[in-house]
Amino acid sequence: MEQRPLGQGGLTVSALGFGCMGLTSAYGDALPDAESIALIRAAYDLGVTHFDTAEAYGPFANEIVVGAALRPIRDKVTIATKFGFDIDLETGERRGGTNSRPERIRAVCDAALKRLGTDHIDLFYQHRVDPAVPIEDVAGAVQGLIAAGKVGHFGMSEAGVATIRRAHAVQPVAAVQSEYSLWTRELEADLLPALAELGIGFVPFSPLGAGFLTGKVDTSTTFAANDFRGMSPRFAPEARSANLALVDMIRGFAATLNATPAQVALAWLLAKAPWIVPIPGTKRLDRLTENLGAAQQALSAETVTALDKASAAIRIQGLRLPAPVLAMSGL
């Protein structure tokens, strides 16, 4: 698979990464460890070299399974994980809110290294901006971990442009992660231009709209009690019904391109800039294979423009995340 740069510090990864969160959290029951490990290794066999996890996914369970899966091929892949939520490092209890105090960042790093079974984290993101800690202190703490050889590169998630600039002035930011897809395009106005200016890579999460853009979700779809989509405003029945207009539009493009809707949605992101690396996730091998097929779908500039215009003409209904989660975003 094509390799793409994230930032200007020498970090290169596969054009499509693998978002591992859904293996253990957010989308219903966790996949059994053995099946998760097999799927992660299948992703590697299919060309993926970048795997995204976090202490919060579980908590802790995701890092453990990702570490187990990648240990035999550790020198051939890059691992991204995250700090920033206030989680008890012993029990995994979520205490609510954020915690990016420097001593906390160092403790989370050491704990993550143990769970992952590695001596370094390739990309260490601040999961959410902590309003109680100056971002310069956060960047300085990560800079210290980089100097110690425990971390390779610094990343930020759901951060605003002004905050990114302040952090970048202390420690170069390699990548920023936020939601971006054909149904979440607001950040095109300011975030993407700023990243292009600063030479920072971009890693879109939920590049398939939490599965909606695949065309496999309709008005009759039901979600498990532990699937966040059941609480997401954008998946509420009335909003979902209205938002299917976007899926129908993508399906039309897919038919002309001999592709699936998921492949069109991912190929659109890949065509946006050579420093964009989407991280679709799945629990199924067939969906994984389908998603990675997007890397072979080179969309023309005309097709990208047509998708831009067609998606912009459809008014998406509902907030992209449940309100309490969205409130923690720094965007």
- Per-residue model confidence as pLDDT tens digits over 121-161: 999 999 999 999 999 999 999 999 999 999 999 999 999 99
Residue 317 has pLDDT above 90, yes or no: yes
**Virtual torsion, Cα 293, 6, 164, 280, nearest 10 deg:** 20
Q: How much is the pLDDT for 155?
A: 99
Segment 24-52, tens digit of pLDDT? 999 999 999 999 999 999 999 999 999 99
If you average pLDDT over residues 201-229, what whole number do you get?
A: 97
Report if residue 159 sits inside a domain. yes
pLDDT of residue 229: 96
- Let me know: does 249 contact 54? Beta carbons within 8 Å: no
Q: What residues act catalytically?
A: 57
Q: Is the pLDDT of residue 220 over 90?
A: yes
In a domain, 172, yes or no: yes
Q: Is residue 324 assigned to a domain?
A: no
Q: Tell me, what CATH number does 104's domain have?
A: 3.20.20.100
Answer whether residue 307 is part of any domain: no
Look at residue 151 and tell me if it is in a domain: yes
Structural domain boundaries enclosing 273:
3-209+269-297
Provide the number of structural domains found in the chain: 1
Confidence check: pLDDT of 331 > 90: no
pTM for this predicted structure: 0.97
In-domain check, residue 306: no
For residue 271, count CB atoms less than 10 angstroms from its CB and return exposed for 0-12, middle for 13-18, buried for 19 or more: middle
284 is a domain residue: yes
The pLDDT value recorded for residue 308 is 98
Would residue 19 count as lying in a domain? yes
Query: What's the average model confidence in pLDDT over 297-301?
Result: 97
Q: Which pLDDT does position 157 carry in this prediction?
A: 98
How far from 10 is each of 6, 56, 152, 173, 225, CA to CA, in Å?
A: 8, 27, 10, 12, 42
Mean pLDDT of 181-200: 98
Residue 187 banded pLDDT, cuts 50, 70, 90: very high
